[in-house]
Amino acid sequence: MKPSGAEDQHAVTAQNPDPPQIPRWGKDTDQSREIGTSRSDASIYTDPATLALERDRMFRRTWLVADRVEAVPNPGDFLVWERLGQSVVIARQDDGSLFAFHNVCRHRGSRIVSEGGHCEARRLTCPFHGFTYDLEGNVVDVPERDTFDPAHLEGLRARGVAIDTWQGWIWLNFDPENAESLPEYLGSLAAEMGWYGMDEWKFYGGNTWVAEANWKVVLEGFLEAWHTPTTHKKTVRGGFDVARSSFATLDRHSMMVVPITANDIDSAPKPVEHRAVADCQYLVFPNTFVNMFPDLGNMISVFPIDENRSFAQGWVVARREAPEGVDYETYDSNMRRSLGLTDRIMAEDLGIAAEIGAVRDSFAAEGNIYNSLECRITAFHREIEKYLR
């Protein structure tokens, strides 16, 4: 079953028939009018000082998606995660838990390791003078120890970063002393997205991209679907009934339900279990977009490189069982092919982001206007403001 004209699109319905606890599709639930329309000033996309505030007051205090848990599968595996000017070691411990710490030597500030890998000895040694760290970031060996003031070495460990996992993703928070727990941070989004059970899904792969535009320009391209028939006319085209989307904020996060033409949402049992029949798109504030089909999930996190460039990383996951009536091999190869489709769609989105970036310095680039179909961008800006002021 495929939406008309939407090659490779996944329009199957999920097999979980339970009605939603909170209906999210339909006129009664749509919040677009409540959220409203807005304008923005161009400086929010171009001002280095705004980016510095976003980094220090927002990214530093929010939970961020770092990678899939599959990136560090075994005890002794570690990865070096580098975004936002930070370098973090994420390491799998012998008991299966994860630890994260700043990849910055406490002696004279060298990066401790330059790339991830597997560490049989469970020890990481700084390349400068050889301070050695265990995989929890504790300093366990100091060369020429008796030449140091013992007080300087007492309890010395790499600075910690809060880490947790949810739905098969690794999350970090750079404010371990004050951070609320990840479930608290996710709030009502956790129950909404938890329905999919993505921690049980298969990881199909992913990709990374560099975009020639401010990180918000890239992310905002994912917060509305009405550019689909124009921007994505060569890929997804007419598979969605974007004009009948429903919008909602979920605490600081947001979502929209976009009906898939081939699934005929009007004949679904009431109340409609939107996740079983529609394309549900989520913003995990501040910088992660999640596009959920009933059987396929696509997550993309966008980080600033500087005010004019951004870095995006994407992951594709899918249910392990084929839907009823579809043999597994066909299903599995469709899911594999979806990686290529994601790349083609992303190229279209990043092409538009680059068109916006190309005229960022124009005298005419004064700011934007956002309609009710773009209400999630309005809500997004309001949430950012709360952190920046």
Binding site for Fe ion (CB under 5 A): 349
Residues from 114 through 153 that contact ligand FES (CB under 6 A): 126, 128-131
The entry of Fe ion, ligand FES, none that residue 105 binds, CB within 5 to 8 Å by partner kind:
ligand FES
Q: Which does 349 bind (CB under 5 to 8 A by kind): ligand FES, Fe ion, none?
A: Fe ion
Q: Which one of the spans 103-111, 302-310, 318-326, 332-340 is the region binding ligand FES (CB under 6 A)?
A: 103-111
Q: Which is nearer to Fe ion, 273 or 349 (CB)?
A: 349
Nearer to Fe ion by Cβ, of 119 and 353: the residue is 353
- Binding residues among 39-98 for ligand FES as defined by CB under 6 A: none
| Phi–psi pair at 75, nearest 5 degrees | -55, 135
Residue with smaller CB distance to Fe ion, 139 or 290: 290
Q: Residues 223, 377: contact at Cβ < 8 Å?
A: yes
**107 touches ligand FES (CB under 6 A):** yes
What minimum distance in Å lies between the beta carbon of 107 and ligand FES?
A: 3
Min dist. Cβ of residue 323 to ligand FES (A): 53
3-class DSSP assignment, residue 173: strand
Q: Could you please report the per-residue DSSP string of 310-379? A: EEEEEEEEE-SSPPTTS-HHHHHHHHHHHHHHHHHHHHHHHHHHHHHHHTTT-TT--EEEE-GGGHHHHH
In single-letter form, the type of residue at position 255 comes to M
Indicate the SS3 state at residue 260: strand
Handedness of CA 151, 155, 158, 160 (dihedral sign): negative
Q: How far is the CB of 60 from ligand FES (least distance, A)?
A: 24
Smallest separation, CB 114 to ligand FES (Å): 13
Cβ closer to ligand FES: 131 or 171? 131
- Residue 102 is a binding residue for ligand FES (CB under 6 A): no
Site for ligand FES (CB under 6 A): which residue of 87, 110, 231, 371?
110
Task: Round to whole Å and give the CA distance between 319 and 295.
Answer: 5
Q: What tokens does 378 get?
A: 């309005």
Q: Which is closer to ligand FES, CB of 113 or CB of 302?
A: 113
Nearer to ligand FES among residue 6 and residue 142 (C-beta): 142
Is 372 an interacting residue with respect to ligand FES (CB under 6 A)? no
Which listed option, ligand FES, Fe ion, none, makes contact with residue 126 (CB within 5 to 8 Å by class)?
ligand FES
Closest to ligand FES by CB, 129 vs 234, is: 129
Nearer to Fe ion, 223 or 317 (CB): 223
Residue in the block written with tokens 């069982």: 321
Q: How far is the CB of 110 from ligand FES (least distance, A)?
A: 4
Q: Which stretch binds ligand FES (CB under 6 A): 106-114, 203-211, 238-246, 323-331?
A: 106-114
Tokens standing for residue 132: 């050695």
Question: Strand order in 288-292's β-sheet?
Answer: 202-211, 309-318, 296-306, 288-292, 279-284, 253-258, 246-250
Name the phi and psi angles at 207, rounded to 5: -160, 170
Residues 218-237: x where in contact with ligand FES by CB under 6 A, - otherwise, as a string: --------------------
The residue among 24 and 102 lying less far from ligand FES, judged by its C-beta, is: 102
The CA distances from residue 220 to 120, 349, 350, 373, in Å, are: 43, 10, 11, 12
Q: Using the rule CB under 6 A, which residue among 51, 100, 105, 318 binds ligand FES?
A: 105
Single residue of 28, 95, 108, 364 touching ligand FES by CB under 6 A: 108
Q: Measure the CA dihedral 222/225/229/231, to 10°.
A: -20
Instruction: Give the HSE-up count for residue 295: Cα atoms under 13 Å, Cβ half-sphere.
Output: 22
CB 65 within 8 A of CB 170: yes
Instruction: From the list Fe ion, ligand FES, none, pick the one residue 128 interacts with, judged by a Cβ distance below 5 to 8 Å according to partner type.
Output: ligand FES
Judge contact between 376 and 256, C-beta under 8 A: yes
Closest CA to 79 of 63, 101, 105: 101
Binding site for ligand FES (CB under 6 A): 105, 107-108, 110, 126, 128-131
